[in-house]
A and B are shown apart, each in its own frame.
Chain A
């Protein structure tokens, strides 16, 4: 296996990294940290992709989109699904967190350790007004990776990107 970060390997990374997430299109697969790496192996661009949740129904769509983006950039392409180490929300980049907030999704509270307490509640800031006077409406939201919250200060309902 050759790992090469020069020339066309970089171009392959850029092509793959620009792919938007199908369910949260404001961020790219690189912003979310689910695109692990892109390598050139005997002329084939191989992209390492990791699922967010075990049953995330978007995984296949994400893999196909990355493969297509690599092909469009002129590469032969292959996807490798990477399970270890498991993805955590801590891998979302600062830029990705900011894009989520602008889009109206509260980014995950840092440090995934917070879910380990049995009934521990996290403090989530409203992505619209910034108030921390918010309440959880539903542990499970519009996609597997989100919960549903409401801001008591500005009354805005919003999605919270759950911390795992």
Chain B
């Protein structure tokens, strides 16, 4: 296990969720959201690119960001399960985004003091972007949760469906623990209170209750994914794989 693999996990989280947001492009319920969701996706993909580039350099085998993004199969992807959950409806998408951003904001804030200069650079940008994501997605969680009978029911369904994937956010793999010990990445478990506070604040306004998770679904960091990730990667990677070595 090595530090570069911890950066890979982080990059995979951002790329996969960024791709999920891009899937809404042209399908959003209104023009404003059609702009917002790909914009948020771009933030995530931009962060992923820098992290892949850095991970590839630390690995030292000459793998580029494209190699890492396009030429690994699902078992080699190390993203957490939350980010690969399918878009389903607007409630699912916004809650997933809110959960992730509520985690990443304090994560990047803590990473501002990283021992690694590139991580500090990424953190300085991303913590501000995550503040926007929390606000935007959080407003929708409130609007839908405290909305019509239909919207509230959908938001409750989303909470029910996604809460089993929350705990995995706070797990550190062996690689992550190594990076944490070296002062390069923040200790994930330490971020739970900040996440709980953000979620409690928004859920109170959204008239939502956080269910107690009967169990937590884990496995993403070991490459054990849901079937849906394979479909996502197939779509994302097909052009690159059909034209090996193609460059922009």
Taking CB atoms, residues of chain B closer than 8 Å to A54 are 42-44, 46-47, 49-50, 122, 125-126, 129
B45 CB to nearest chain A CB (Å):
5
Whole-angstrom distance between the alpha carbons of A136 and B36 in the complex? 13
- The binding surface of chain B is classed by DSSP as helix
Please state if B120 and A84 are interface contacts (CB–CB under 8 Å).
Answer: yes
Residues of B118-167 whose CB lies within 8 A of A: 118, 120-122, 124-126, 128-129, 131-132, 134-136, 138-139
Does A154 have its Cβ within 8 Å of any Cβ on chain B? no
Please state if A56 and B135 are interface contacts (CB–CB under 8 Å).
Answer: no
Residues of A117-148 whose CB lies within 8 A of B: 118-119, 137-142, 144, 148
Please state if A55 and B46 are interface contacts (CB–CB under 8 Å).
Answer: yes
Does A112 have its Cβ within 8 Å of any Cβ on chain B? yes
Please state if B124 and A51 are interface contacts (CB–CB under 8 Å).
Answer: no
Q: Which of A55, A118, A142, A164 contacts B42 (CB 8 A)?
A: A55
Does B35 have its Cβ within 8 Å of any Cβ on chain A? yes
Residues of B75-103 whose CB lies within 8 A of A: none
Residues of A76-129 whose CB lies within 8 A of B: 83-87, 112, 115-116, 118-119
Whole-angstrom distance between the alpha carbons of A96 and B218 in the complex? 49
Does B73 have its Cβ within 8 Å of any Cβ on chain A? no
Please state if A86 and B125 are interface contacts (CB–CB under 8 Å).
Answer: yes
Nearest residue, chain B, Cβ from A60 = B248
Taking CB atoms, residues of chain A closer than 8 Å to B43 are 53-55, 144
Which among B42, B47, B128 has the greatest number of chain A C-beta atoms within 10 A?
B128
Please state if A116 and B131 are interface contacts (CB–CB under 8 Å).
Answer: yes
Q: Which of B50, B135, B136, B139 contacts A83 (CB 8 A)?
A: B50
Taking CB atoms, residues of chain A closer than 8 Å to B64 are none
Does A43 have its Cβ within 8 Å of any Cβ on chain B? no
Taking CB atoms, residues of chain B closer than 8 Å to A139 are 36, 132, 135-136
Q: Which of A55, A86, A112 contacts B45 (CB 8 A)?
A: A55
Does A57 have its Cβ within 8 Å of any Cβ on chain B? yes
Whole-angstrom distance between the alpha carbons of A137 and B35 in the complex? 12
Taking CB atoms, residues of chain B closer than 8 Å to A140 are 32, 35-36, 39-40, 136
Taking CB atoms, residues of chain A closer than 8 Å to B134 are 118
Please state if B121 and A138 are interface contacts (CB–CB under 8 Å).
Answer: no
Using CB atoms and an 8 Å cutoff, list the residues of chain A in contact with chain B: 51, 53-57, 83-87, 112, 115-116, 118-119, 137-142, 144, 148, 162, 164
* Given contact pairs A55-B41, A119-B135, a sample of 13 additional A-B residue pairs in the complex whose CB atoms are under 8 Å apart: A51-B125, A54-B47, A54-B50, A54-B125, A55-B45, A84-B120, A86-B125, A118-B138, A118-B202, A137-B32, A140-B32, A141-B35, A148-B35
30 residue pairs of the A-B complex, CB under 8 angstroms, read A51-B46, A51-B125, A53-B43, A53-B125, A54-B44, A55-B18, A55-B41, A55-B42, A55-B43, A55-B45, A56-B42, A83-B121, A83-B125, A84-B117, A84-B121, A115-B128, A115-B131, A115-B132, A118-B134, A118-B138, A119-B135, A137-B32, A138-B36, A139-B132, A139-B135, A140-B35, A141-B35, A142-B35, A144-B39, A164-B128
